Amino acid sequence: MISDRYSAADDSLVRELFRRFRLDPALVLALTVLMGLGLIVLYSSSAQSMPMLNRQIIRLAIGLVIMVFFAQIPPHTLKFWSPWLYTGGVCCLLLVFYFGHIGKGAQRWLDLGFARFQPSELMKLIVPMTVAWYFTGKSLPLKFRHVIGASLLILIPFGLIAEQPDLGTALLVGAGGFMCLFLGGMSWKLMIGGVAAVGAMMPVMWKMLHGYQQRRVLTFLDPESDPLGAGYHIIQSKIAIGSGGVYGKGWLNGTQSHLDFLPERSTDFIFSVLAEEFGFFGELLILTLYTFILLRGMGIVLRARDTYSRIVGGSIILTFFVYVVVNIGMVTGLMPVVGVPLPLISYGGTSMVALMMGFGILMSINADRRLSPG
């Protein structure tokens, strides 16, 4: 990876800038390369729509600005604000619950007049932050009652988001919280017990699922059962990926995507476009970059200064990777279609904000460690 960054010999202006803005050059490089690749794929998937491309570039730029901004906030400041943010977030979710804007059959948005925003997205960050804050001062590994307490902190927003209904985001929020529990040393027995408990609750949860969610799960189990209906997305996506072959059909030559067979091809299913046009090697490149980011992030959190940073940072980087795995698992037919975008590549701004905030926090944790190595 990156060699000794304290060496004065290669202390160029760029390095100085990175250091001043508390950024990790390796991570920034990997992120921007991914963003660039994403734009290339988006150009193709959007049928070469420059307006879409421009919008995405602006979003990415804003995302980078947000990242830089959050990199300036020291972890202990975040820790201080965590409970307040959590309270505010849950209030927002309640507001959405009662007054939210309905789009695509789900109530997720809060209209602020000048902009609409999705509180559930921010909860992806706020929940781990709060759980990590909750862990502070408590000895690790976690005691049972602490696990229960943390679980409550997770389940409240989880329930509110699942009710919107946005099961995908709810699960990711839950996953973010669970990562904290896991990293906090929650005992294996408890985890297994929890999984068993969730398994036991499955029939009840199944009843609580909305019709389209039930259908999604069912078609996930047997996509061919409804090739023209709900299973259509998965089948067409698999055709796109499979027909891409080793080298792909070439940029802008994907027939599945360009002839509209592939649904949601700029957003949730953008990986299929990439797979169709760039083939197996294109996918390997993307997966390598994601894995690099994962390992780099892990390197950062392993050397983080305090528990809060470790837990939040670890949760952020793991959740990020969960997105990647869930999205690719979804488009390849390994997982149900839950509507998780491919980080940094999928078209869309909402998930980008939380994502780049997360990387900003990660950078901050990195910088914090650097300033006072401990």
Partner 1 sequence: MAGVSLNDRHLELQVYKNRVVIAAVFCLLAVLILIIRLLILQIVNHDVFSTLSQSNRLRLMAIAPNRGLIYDRNGVVLAENRPSYRLELVPEEVKDINGTLERLRHLIKIEDSDIERFRKERKRGRPFEGVPLRFNLSEEEVAQFAVNRHRFPGVDIVAGLSRYYPFGAMTAPVLGYVSRIDEDDLDTLDEGNYQATTHIGKVGVEQYYEKLLHGTVGYKQVEVNVEGRVINEIKENERQPVPGEDLHLSIDIRLQTVAAAALGENSGAVVAIEPSTGAVLVLLSKPSYDPALFVNGISNEAFAALQADPARPLFNRALHGQYPPGSTIKPLFGLAALERGVINENFAIGCSGSYQLPHDKRRYRDWKKYGHGPAVDLEQAVIESCDVFFYDLAYRTGIDAMSDYVRQFGFGQPTGIDILGEKIGLFPNSEWKQKRFGEKWYTGESLSVGIGQGYTVATPLQLAYMTAIMASNGQAYRPHVLEATSLPPSQIELLQAPERTAAAEPTAVAGAEAGQAAARPETAIDAPPGSQLHKIPPALQRSVPVVAQRHWDYIRKAMMGVAHDPKGTARGSFQTAPYHAAGKTGTAQVISVKQNEEYDEEKIAKQYRDHALFIAYAPAEKPEIAMAILVENGGHGSSAAAPIARKIMDQYLIARIH
Among 255, 305, 348, 370, interactor with partner 1 by CB under 8 A: 255
> What is the CA angle 38-39-40, rounded to 5?
90
Site size toward partner 1 (CB under 8 A) is 49
**2 near partner 1, rule: CB under 8 A:** no
Using rule CB under 8 A, residue 358 touches partner 1: no
Is residue 71 within the footprint of partner 1 (CB under 8 A)?
Answer: no
Encode 319-353: b = buried (16+ Cβ within 10 Å), e = exposed: bbbbbbebbbebbbbebbbbbbbbbbbbbebbbbb
* CB closer to partner 1, 93 vs 142: 142
Interaction between residue 69 and partner 1 (CB under 8 A) = no
State how far the Cα of 175 lies from the Cα of 356, in Å rounded to an integer: 18
One of 242, 250, 253, 371 touching partner 1 (CB under 8 A):
242
Cβ–Cβ < 8 Å for 22, 71? yes
Compute the distance between CA of residue 170 and CA of residue 154 in angstroms, rounded to an integer: 10
CB-based burial label for 42 (10 Å; 0-12, 13-18, 19+): buried
Candidate ranges 36-44, 98-106, 180-188, 193-201; the one touching partner 1 (CB under 8 A): 180-188
**Cα(300)–Cα(130) distance, rounded to whole angstroms?**
20
305: contact with partner 1 by CB under 8 A: no
Task: At 38, list the tokens.
Answer: 């994403």
Q: What is the DSSP letter of 225?
A: G
Rounded distance, CA 59 to CA 323, Å? 19
Q: 71, 24 in Cβ contact below 8 A? A: no
Residue 97 engages partner 1 in binding (rule: CB under 8 A): no
Q: Which of 139, 214, 225, 253 binds partner 1 (CB under 8 A)?
A: 139
How far is Cα 175 from Cα 130, in angstroms, rounded to an integer?
14
Cβ proximity to partner 1, 326 vs 363, nearer residue:
326
Least distance from partner 1 to the Cβ atom of residue 183, Å: 5
Judged by CB under 8 A, the residue of 32, 187, 214, 225 near partner 1 is 187
Q: Round to whole Å and give the CA distance between 283 and 271.
A: 8
- Residue placing its CB nearer to partner 1 in the complex, 23 or 175: 175
Which of 66, 154, 183, 230 binds partner 1 (CB under 8 A)? It is 183
Contact predicate 123/89, CB 8 Å: yes
Q: Interface mask (CB under 8 A) for partner 1, residues 271-300, using x and -?
A: ----x---xx--xx--x--xx--xx--x--
Tell whether residue 239 is a contact of partner 1 (CB under 8 A): yes
Cα–Cα dist 56/140, whole Å: 42
Footprint of partner 1 on this chain (CB under 8 A)? 139-141, 179, 182-185, 187, 236, 238-246, 255-256, 258-261, 275, 279-280, 283-284, 287, 290-291, 294-295, 298, 301-302, 307, 310, 314, 318, 321, 325, 328-329, 332-334
